[in-house]
Amino acid sequence: MIKKSAVEIIALPAFTDNYIWVLRHAGQVAVVDPGDATPVREYLAQTGERLCAVLVTHYHPDHIGGIAEIIAHHPVPVYGPASENIAEVSHSLRGGEHIQLPEIDCEFDVITLPGHTLGHIAYYGSDIGEAGAVFCGDTLFAAGCGRLFEGTPAQMYDSLNKLAVLPAPTFVYCTHEYTQANLRFALAVEPDNPAIQQRCKDVAAIRAAGRFTVPTRIDLELETNPFLRSDAPAVRAAAAARLGYSPRDAVETFTAIREWKNHF
């Protein structure tokens, strides 16, 4: 039997729609993408738990802005992308590495995800929880994907496919509460998709109750996320309507849908 990690994962809201993920076990914690130091420092002060590591997916300020203050008070290793300019990173990662955080009973495979930024990475733990977990920053969102600030559509398409082939029940820990807006777009792309229709209702109820809509799951994204559905006939048809011709392949479909979302 494969040993499952005993880590617990909780969210610290930050700014208007960010989440800082806290992985906790036996009085120790690691945090993912702490753009704001205050929620993390307040959490540590309230719980008395000890910080053991910081994990970073990419260099945007709302993901790294709190690191300097956090490690000034809690000196710990900082893991992050080697090709991005993040001064606080002490353990540079290029993808393909396997890292272990024994303090919180976790280990991760590092996945390169160029697109949102060129150096973007994710942390995948196959033994976390009952189904595994991936911390993917701003690459894959619930019902959406990140903007292409640096990479090409082909790069982002390939990066999303790296996540799409993870085991279907894998929990996806993205870092923004964008789900309702993303689902409005998904419904515009596939208005007759019953899974999207149902998810819109479910998410509306979740938000009305003041709860978070993430993490999501890979299997749910495969059913309802247009950016993972470039081969679906309805998505290809939606792309063709935007382009004025039938897209040549899945990358061109993805490109048309992503451009549509930019102006939606």
Q: Which residues have a Cβ under 8 Å from the Cβ of 250 and sit 6 or more positions away?
A: 157, 230, 231
116 carries a ligand binding annotation: yes
**Each residue of 119-147: pLDDT tens digit?**
999 999 999 988 999 999 999 999 999 99
Query: Mean per-residue pLDDT for 83-98?
Result: 97
**Helices H, strands E: what count in the chain?**
9, 14
Spell out the domains of the chain, with CATH numbers in brackets.
8-262 (3.60.15.10)
138 carries a ligand binding annotation: yes
105 carries a ligand binding annotation: no
Sign of the torsion angle spanned by Cα atoms 34, 38, 43, 49: positive
58 carries a ligand binding annotation: yes
176 carries a ligand binding annotation: yes
Active centre residues (catalytic): 58, 60, 62-63, 116, 138, 176
Alpha-carbon distance values, 126 to 26, 155, 186, 224, 227 (Å): 20, 24, 28, 23, 23
263 carries a ligand binding annotation: no
pLDDT at 1 over 50: no
Query: Mean per-residue pLDDT for 248-263?
Result: 97
**Each residue of 44-72: pLDDT tens digit?**
999 999 999 999 999 999 999 999 999 99
* CA-closest candidate to residue 170, choices 111, 116, 119, 100: 111
Q: What is the per-residue pLDDT for 184? A: 98
* CA-closest candidate to residue 135, choices 19, 16, 219, 3: 19
Angle at 253 between CA 251 and CA 258, to 5 degrees: 95
CA torsion angle 152 153 156 160 (round to 10): -170
* CA-closest candidate to residue 63, choices 10, 138, 139: 138
**Each residue of 18-46: pLDDT tens digit?**
999 999 999 999 999 999 999 999 999 99
DSSP E strands in the chain: the ranges are 8-14, 18-25, 28-32, 50-55, 78-81, 91-93, 98-101, 106-112, 121-125, 133-137, 140-141, 144-145, 171-174, 216-217
Global pTM value:
0.97
